[in-house]
Chains A and B, each alone.
Chain A
């Protein structure tokens, strides 16, 4: 027998497929990964510390920058937790617009997921197709907030401004075209046998492990557990919409991809219902100029972000700034299972696993 040696290789922090500054220290035996150690913190911006020095309203734009791929979702979570803290009723129209924007963010984020999974497996063209379609969502964000990537559109008590006239036709035409887009991805990305061979049976996460390690969101549903905070603990007006929870069966990377593709359709369904039901009216509740929650109040509010359970733990000391803000970042917790699902696989599977877990490093490092 040949004498072999373990081989340590650093995937990242500067590497084409780590989605930002992720650093995975892979211990290799040939091409087989015997261990993977995740090092985080390359995009740490001390968001939680910054929050202690900003007023409740000033902090809204920072939240947009947590998960910059689904910009409205982290903002929605934050403003809702502040609203819970001070007990504000949000106008109906604002609630509907929030749902529409949140679901568009989810679609945008999932499109990036599909595209980046494709490009991480070497199918460069897949990314371009997803980006092309995501561009239409970005245009809609620009219409409403003037910003494309980090929109900061939500406000405590409502939204920044009402929808422009051209928004609803654009949204409807996107929803109308979505099945065609998915067909295209089906042909280019999901239908490819090489891609299937690289994803099926790779990075299997059992339901038990998924729950033990606190995995949430599409990754949890890919393991076959029907748990979605929009369904389990509806926030905002999510209890009014009819949608399904796509589930995986084996919890491998292929399921994670398919769950997200199916979620595109479900998000589109929610948007369609919201567009049908949206009432006229105010878009912003009366909120005091200086938000001062009572002393000692605290709230843990969580929403279903495109990555999983995004929670804000907000503690007030009666001042105009949060006493403590903790962000429960789904990417951070989901990344914890990367070593678990990568062990025993090939080096190339690590890349597939990272892409399939869909971490956003801006969120996980905060």
Chain B
């Protein structure tokens, strides 16, 4: 990176069914909180990076125009990015590019979604091409269930074993969400609750799946010079990368998943990480589906391919483990999609600055944030750390 960037402030709304506010008011809530957290004035923000799921989600297209007022965008450059589920990570990358390019010293990143206002599945169905794939990969759980099923088959893993590992992830993350005052789903579940919940797309059950949420997240990025003047801990961007597959779901392998592997590998290289399991203290893995999280552990090098169940069985990735994942409760408990990837970055930043409250991993210095988008198409990673 030509110049270094740091996260100096984060803000998020309480997530859930937010019919108490309109879309713009929801975004204002997150932006106001981020500005207060950074201890800056709205006038200090020089540029704005924004994104969400396709605008038909809420029925107001090119919604950066609609959100402008709530993003302090008056008189400033404003860019929108759109990569579906990974959009929150793309926004964080876009804001970082603004800083590292040398063009700006303080940039606001904003992601949000109001999923109770429209028809999320109907909107997501229109992300696939209208000729070949819309029929078959409409409805997010179907695609990710096919990926999960292929994973078990590839390594000849007993279905019961993978089922149990996925259920333990669900139980763990629901426990974690109890520590996160902003989380949407805050209730405990048992192994039995998960394994007996309704099958929605075999092998995936209801409690393997994230909710639909309303929510917003705002993160303020600053140059090294500005960040050092803050006079308090900031989260430094240590490495980041983004990679994608072809649009056709059947064109590439989703088990040894190149887009996820490449995104992580290049981010590790930038951050100087050679052994992620040892060198990362915490990871916010994008996990709308429990089974998919197992695949990510392998693609991110937390373990060898085919060995992710062991990480769960040995507690490595659970509460109190060597590399705890999703102490916020993750996507599984909170999913305002346009904000979700940025929330991973915000949570990682809170962890490495020791400000994550009841969900703090003691002594966390290096954290991974991740997001995935499209029908198994895109992956983005950002590594943040407490030291420059």
Genuine A/B complex: no
